[in-house]
């Protein structure tokens, strides 16, 4: 099997490469939209504006922590005539047979997901995340390393869960909501709301100055 990594300015691209190596998947190239790539082998990087002149025709997966940027990269790749790869699941993750995972999703090493759960398309689940049974993770969600999601969690499209956050059972996280790193979520979070702290409370969020700003990131 072969794959194309689309968006290689994020440090996470090394994790994508290492998971591919463990799975025996050949990374044909990495596509850089602009800026300095961070692949282990820069000689394999193809600039996006040069992509049309190549004969690359392998499935891609978009690489970025930001949900917004991952969606942008996916749209660019599709506009270039590429097709989405199946989910990329590290062999050191633990997934029962009763769950479903959408295409273009990346599940990093050490992730554990409970039974009868659903993970959407183009989701990023970073290292050592734990997700309880009967949970639903929407498209383009980003979950930072070490986050713990209890059972029966609903996370809507584009939400971001920070590193080490804890979400108690039966909570709902709204579309494009942000749960800050280390937050303890004891109440459901609405669409576009930013919560932080223990217990988590709503705070204003300047997306232009936060780490969610996609300027300069892939």
- In sequence order, what are the residues at sequence separation of 6 or more whose Cβ sits closer than 8 angstroms to the Cβ of residue 211? none
Let me know: does 200 contact 180? Beta carbons within 8 Å.
yes
Segment holding 155, helix H or strand E: strand 154-155
Return d(Cα 84, Cα 150) in angstroms, integer. 30
Q: Which residues in 54-123 belong to E strands, given as ranges?
A: 60-62, 88-89, 100-101, 106-107, 112-113, 118-119
Classify strands 194-196 and 201-203 as parallel, antiparallel or unpaired: antiparallel
- Sheet of strand 118-119: strand arrangement: 100-101, 118-119, 136-137, 154-155, 172-173
Q: Is the peptide bond before 114 cis (omega within 30 degrees of 0)?
A: no
Give Dmax over CA atoms of the chain in angstroms.
53
The residues assigned a catalytic role are 133
């Amino acid at each position: 099997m072969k794959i194309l990594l689309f968006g290689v300015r994020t440090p996470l691209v090394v994790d994508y490469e290492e998971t591919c190596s463990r799975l025996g998947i050949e990374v044909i190239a990495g596509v850089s939209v602009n800026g300095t790539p961070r692949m282990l082998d820069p000689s394999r990087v193809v600039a996006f504006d040069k992509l049309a002149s190549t004969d690359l025709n392998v499935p891609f997966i978009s690489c970025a922590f930001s949900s917004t940027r991952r969606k942008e990269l996916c749209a660019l790749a599709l506009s270039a005539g590429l097709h989405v790869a199946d989910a990329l699941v590290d062999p050191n993750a633990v997934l029962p047979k009763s769950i479903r995972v959408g295409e273009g999703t990346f599940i990093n090493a050490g992730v554990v997901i409970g039974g009868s759960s659903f993970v959407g398309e183009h989701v990023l689940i970073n290292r050592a995340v734990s997700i309880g049974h009967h949970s639903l993770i929407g498209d383009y969600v980003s979950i930072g390393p070490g986050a713990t999601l209890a059972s029966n969690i609903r996370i809507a499209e584009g939400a971001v869960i920070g590193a080490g956050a804890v979400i108690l059972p039966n909570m709902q996280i709204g579309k494009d909501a942000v749960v800050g790193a280390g937050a303890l979520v004891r109440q459901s979070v609405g669409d576009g709301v930013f919560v932080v702290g223990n217990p988590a409370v709503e705070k204003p969020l300047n997306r232009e100055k936060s780490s969610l700003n996609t300027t300069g990131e892939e």
